[in-house]
């Protein structure tokens, strides 16, 4: 079994992979102030509840876009399982079957998305990741990352309104029945959530046009299913795509170093 860790700006996601399938996926807030011991206790409890002993974990792979948390999580995994995790970063990118655009600038989560999509579909693909940021990563059928677009994520946009205005509340991410908001909550939902529907359609359509239509779209991320009206533009919706890519990165590194 493997433990795959994806540290994002909002959450840290832990996946338990058992040979051919994801057995469990756990999510917890990514707090920079937490100690390695705090995360260790949480992971021990999850494994206990899943009836998995520590000795059955054969490898761990860590991806992080929060530099302050990377040493904390790396230390925790090493202490808990007794071996050093593979940490995704520019130093290991030459071992991957990808041509990576600006390796020292691109987030490790986007590299994971690209590798997972390239491996799964073997054709040009734009991966739309609905997370803290809304990202569009395009990878060719030959395994070359062609480009990236980034916008604030849904929750980030709503929280920004809440944080920077005196009278607007933080509202749930729910699709309103109408674009004509009849209350403050519905007005924000109409502007942000329906607005994001247009944003995603526009960016995906533009990418596909620039690639002469030879490009499918795939959605991932914790909020990937929150706008049902977007489902028609996606060939697939795979919430665990980033975890799968991190796992595949671990496999590539292990194979190249044996």
Question: Residue 201 has what pLDDT?
Answer: 95
- Residue 194 DSSP class: I
pLDDT of res. 253: 93
Q: How many whole angstroms separate alpha carbon 166 and alpha carbon 245?
A: 41
The answer on pLDDT for 161 being more than 80 is no
For residue 18, pLDDT over 90 is answered with: yes
Catalytic: 11?
no
> How far apart (Å, rounded) are the C-alpha atoms in residues 15 and 87?
15
Least confident of 44-53, 164-173, 200-209, 245-254: 164-173
Q: Which residues contact 51 (CB under 8 A, 6 or more apart)?
A: none
Domains and CATH numbers, the chain: 2-87 (3.30.420.40), 98-245 (3.30.420.40)
Q: Read off the pLDDT of each residue in 209-215 and give the average, rounded to a whole number.
A: 94
Q: Are 138 and 146 in contact (CB under 8 A)?
A: yes
Res. 222 pLDDT band, cuts 50 70 90? confident
Mean pLDDT calculated for residue range 134-162: 90
10 neighbors 37 (Cβ within 8 angstroms)? no
Q: Which of 11, 18, 109, 214 is catalytic?
A: 109
Lowest mean pLDDT among 44-58, 107-121, 138-152, 188-202: 188-202
* Separation between Cα atoms, residue 71 and residue 221, nearest integer Å: 24
Encode pLDDT of 60-104 as tens digits.
999 999 999 999 999 999 999 999 999 999 999 999 999 998 899
Residue 173 binned pLDDT confidence (cut-offs 50, 70, 90): confident
Confidence class for position 159, pLDDT limits 50, 70, 90 = confident
User: Is the predicted pLDDT of residue 187 greater than 90, yes or no?
Assistant: no
Compute the mean pLDDT over every residue in the chain, rounded to the nearest whole number: 91
DSSP codes, 56-90: G--EEEEEES-TTTHHHHHHHHHHHHSSPPEE-SG
| Of residues 91 and 163, more confidently modeled | 91
Q: Is 113 exposed, middle or buried (0-12, 13-18, 19+ CB in 10 A)?
A: buried
pLDDT at 169 over 70: no
Residue scoring higher pLDDT (241 or 225): 241
Does residue 146 register a pLDDT over 90? yes
Question: Is it the case that residue 125 has pLDDT exceeding 90?
Answer: yes
20-52 confidence digits (pLDDT tens): 899 999 999 988 888 889 999 999 999 999 999
Nearest to 140 by CA among 216, 46, 231: 216
CB 150 within 8 A of CB 65: no
Residue 214 CB-density burial (10 A; 0-12 exposed, 13-18 middle, 19+ buried): exposed
Residues β-bridged to residue 29: 11
CA 127/CA 123 separation, integer angstroms: 12
Structure tokens that stand for 85 in this block: 């995790």
């Amino acid at each position: 079994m493997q433990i795959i860790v994806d540290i994002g700006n909002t959450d840290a996601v832990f996946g338990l992979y058992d040979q051919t399938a994801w057995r469990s996926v756990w999510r917890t807030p990514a707090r920079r102030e937490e100690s390695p011991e705090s995360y260790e206790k949480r992971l021990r409890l999850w494994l206990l509840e899943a009836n998995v002993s520590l000795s059955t974990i054969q490898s761990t792979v860590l991806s992080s876009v929060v530099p302050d948390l990377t040493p904390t999580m790396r230390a925790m995994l090493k202490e808990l399982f007794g071996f050093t995790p593979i940490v995704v970063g520019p130093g290991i990118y030459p071992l991957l079957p990808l041509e990576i655009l600006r390796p020292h600038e691109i987030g490790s989560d986007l590299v994971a998305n690209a590798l997972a999509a390239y491996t799964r579909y073997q054709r040009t693909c734009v991966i739309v990741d609905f997370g803290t940021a809304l990202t569009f990563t395009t990878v060719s059928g030959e395994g070359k990352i062609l480009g990236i677009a980034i916008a604030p994520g849904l929750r980030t946009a709503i929280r920004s309104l809440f944080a920077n205005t005196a009278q607007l509340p933080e509202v749930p991410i729910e699709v309103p029945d109408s674009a004509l908001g009849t209350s403050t909550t519905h007005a924000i939902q109409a502007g942000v959530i329906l607005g994001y529907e247009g944003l995603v359609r526009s960016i995906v359509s533009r990418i596909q046009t620039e690639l002469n239509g030879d490009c499918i779209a795939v959605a991932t991320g914790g909020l990937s299913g929150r706008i049902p009206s977007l489902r028609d533009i996606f060939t697939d919706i795979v919430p665990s795509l980033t975890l799968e890519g991190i796992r595949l990165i671990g496999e590539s590194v292990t194979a190249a170093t044996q």
